[in-house]
Chain A
């Protein structure tokens, strides 16, 4: 122990660590009837860490070329010891991460935690969700199977609708006019280098802001939070979060063992598109909406109009900390509260309806 104490003193003397320890030991998390919502952010972080770990393991064997990508994933799931588990956990964790991120975003939204002074936390969180979806979109193509190939073709095709820059963006994403090996290499680069770098950066800012500003308590729960003893962050909240992470781990293990992620058949660019191409579930509400739109609406191409509407909706969602001026007596505005429920109902409704085959 004396050696450890000496080491601590040496480090503290040089880096002034005492204030950090002071901060961490005194940090608390408010306790009220909606405290459960505070765990989603941590759970999303857990899944992200699982992604990093399993992603690095997959990198040891994955080969990002049109000729070898499918075969390398096939090799991973059939020949590499526990390769099937790593690949399956990576795929399931990606989906659970997005699900958890959505839960985190909506819980933050409904508690009005985006309001001043936490605007930047909301904006970095919004960007992180976008990056997570970017991870999903780019990673979907990497096994180079038939479904992912054609889904990427449809997905990237939508980019071409962007006015003025559409053609350029399409070429930039695909590395040419068609989805080819060049697209695969490009998506691999985005997936393992560009997106992780941006995510790490934004995640750092996001977490730092949360630590700096503390957990937000909605006006309606302030009284309750004052009456109840807060939870100490270290070690109580961390241990509680640990239980949630273990639950996440158990879910991942069960899903990977009982529902190993399918590999499908190798992509054949010359084959005709198979029936029932669908993107990942978190893009379904956009995909199905665009499919429902007529070819032309008000003299504008329906798909372009739809994408414009989604872009405008996304912008409103992004700017909600500025647009929502709150109620005179404190608390968030009713309009945005109702809007949040409508958006949630729309996303959940369209996603489930798509799975149920309503749009066939």
Chain B
């Protein structure tokens, strides 16, 4: 963030003083016949002053005809630098951090104006930003918090759908990390600073980066983008439930819902943690050491009994799937076509997945109903495998009998030939 701020700060020049007030909502920009800002800055030796002109070519605003003057004011038609950068013509060289959201919002909050460029673009970014932790801190006078340019860049701004944009799903984590991995900075705000590091251990990050699943949640999916704020205890379930709809529905039916609310426990997070969300394991269920139920329940209580029942039902399904799966695979290796058994095993696995969703009700009977279905399917697949094994034995017996008959015929013929040729 500080880096981006530096870019923003050094972007145009050092001459003008910061102004807190935003420029008036602009009229539709007209592409200047000659843009002296670009032509002049492109030739400057000082990289800090030349860079914005170079970046302008890849900037979405520039592509839409919004010149440097659209944000910085001044007179792009003037060939003289003092006339072009005349404060009397609204020129602002460097924006103070507090001025940036207002300046960007002067267009981006204007629905009628934005309609000309992107009819479906939201125009509530600024109002969301004002409610965010960043916006609130900025309003209190903090200067080391994120503003628009911290995430989107000051010059060379690309649309979020552009894979080169710093807010593109696969890049946004690193963008947030620029500040949120800075432990010293984060500690000033009561944040640990290890959140990104933790997130990178999660299944979400693995889905995003290894499977290139752009729908996988990033920082902004749970915290919000412009209104970035940690979800409160009450809203954690709703945040996770945005994607995990079935799990939320089951959780709402569970005795845990009210209990967690009473205990001020963040719903999903209590068992799954927050940033370092790993692949859930059946072995988590129980009250023993390193098992999640043990945080509230202890051996012998109703919760522990329910956990044992759920854990047992899941374990028996997993064991059945593994043993029948291995038997079917063995039969397949012997050359038998086992498509029907494969479908049954797939059904069994689906029922197992459903059982793992039912866990969120914390009601053993609901889980056992699904595991019973899974066990019935594995049993059916097992019968298919047994029938196939019987068929293999039948075929091999048949082959043995055939080979004996063929061998007798061959020997008989050989003797016949021999006797004839003697």
Contact = CB atoms under 8 A, between A and B. Distances in A.
Interface stretch (A97-105, A212-220, A234-242, A301-309): A234-242
Contact of B406 (A236, A250, A259, A262): A250
Contacts of A243: 410, 413-414, 417
A247 B420 contact: no
A120 interface: no
The binding surface of chain A is classed by DSSP as helix
B402 interface: yes
Interface in B307-346: 335-337, 339-340
Nearest to B335: A260
A27 to B, nearest CB: 16
A90 to B, nearest CB: 15
Nearest to A78: B337
Interface residues on A, range: 20 to 34
A246 B339 contact: no
Interface string A230-273: 01000110011011001101100110011110110000000000
B417 A239 contact: yes
Given A74-B337, A263-B337, A253 B417 contact: no
A239 B419 CA distance: 12
A283 B413 CA distance: 37
A78 B420 CA distance: 46
B417 A247 contact: no
Contacts of B244: none
A236 B421 contact: yes
Contacts of B259: none
B409 A246 contact: yes
A254 B337 contact: no
B417 A240 contact: yes
Nearest to B421: A236
A247 B410 contact: yes
Contact of A253 (B403, B410, B420): B403
A100 B420 CA distance: 28
A251 to B, nearest CB: 10
Nearest to B336: A260
Interface in A55-90: 74, 77-78, 85
Contacts of A77: 337
B398 interface: yes
B31 to A, nearest CB: 45
Contacts of B399: 253-254, 257-258
Nearest to A259: B335
Contacts of A254: 399, 403
Interface string B380-422: 0000000000000001101100110011011001101100110
A242 B421 CA distance: 16
B332 to A, nearest CB: 10
Contacts of A240: 413, 417
Contact of B403 (A78, A236, A250, A259): A250
Contacts of B409: 246
A154 B233 CA distance: 59
Given A74-B339, A78-B337, A257 B413 contact: no
Contacts of B336: 260
Contacts of A263: 337
Nearest to A262: B335
Interface residues of B, number: 21
Contact of A242 (B395, B402, B403, B413): B413
A236 B417 contact: yes
Contacts of A257: 395-396, 398-399
A263 B410 CA distance: 33
A69 B282 CA distance: 43
A242 B416 CA distance: 11
B410 A246 contact: yes
A247 B409 CA distance: 10
A235 B421 CA distance: 11
A257 B336 CA distance: 10
Q: Identify which of A85, A240, A246, A260 gathers the most chain B CB atoms within 10 Å of its CB.
A: A246
B406 A253 contact: yes
A218 B395 CA distance: 45
B144 to A, nearest CB: 49
A77 B409 CA distance: 29
A235 B420 contact: yes
B413 A253 contact: no
Nearest to A247: B410
Given A257-B398, A260-B335, A263-B337, A250 B420 contact: no
A231 B406 CA distance: 24
A82 B62 CA distance: 74
A234 to B, nearest CB: 11
Given A246-B406, A253-B402, A257-B396, A239 B413 contact: yes
Nearest to B398: A257
A208 B335 CA distance: 42
B415 to A, nearest CB: 10
A108 B337 CA distance: 41
B45 to A, nearest CB: 48
Contacts of B420: 235-236, 239
Contacts of A74: 337, 339
A254 to B, nearest CB: 6
Contacts of A231: 421
Contacts of A262: 335
A35 to B, nearest CB: 13
Contacts of B398: 257
A74 B336 CA distance: 11
A263 B407 CA distance: 31
Contacts of A247: 410
A78 B338 CA distance: 9
A47 to B, nearest CB: 15
A70 to B, nearest CB: 11
A249 B416 CA distance: 20
B403 A246 contact: no
A355 to B, nearest CB: 19
Nearest to A242: B413
A258 B392 CA distance: 9
Contacts of B395: 85, 257
A39 to B, nearest CB: 13
Given A239-B413, A250-B402, 20 more contacts: A77-B337, A78-B340, A85-B395, A231-B421, A236-B420, A239-B416, A243-B410, A246-B409, A246-B413, A247-B410, A250-B403, A250-B407, A253-B406, A254-B403, A257-B399, A258-B396, A259-B335, A260-B335, A260-B336, A262-B335
Closest 8 CB pairs of A and B: A260-B335, A257-B399, A250-B406, A246-B410, A239-B417, A243-B413, A257-B395, A253-B402
24 contacts: A74-B337, A74-B339, A77-B337, A78-B337, A78-B340, A236-B417, A239-B413, A239-B416, A239-B417, A240-B417, A242-B413, A243-B410, A246-B413, A247-B410, A249-B406, A250-B410, A253-B399, A253-B402, A254-B399, A258-B335, A258-B396, A258-B399, A259-B335, A260-B335
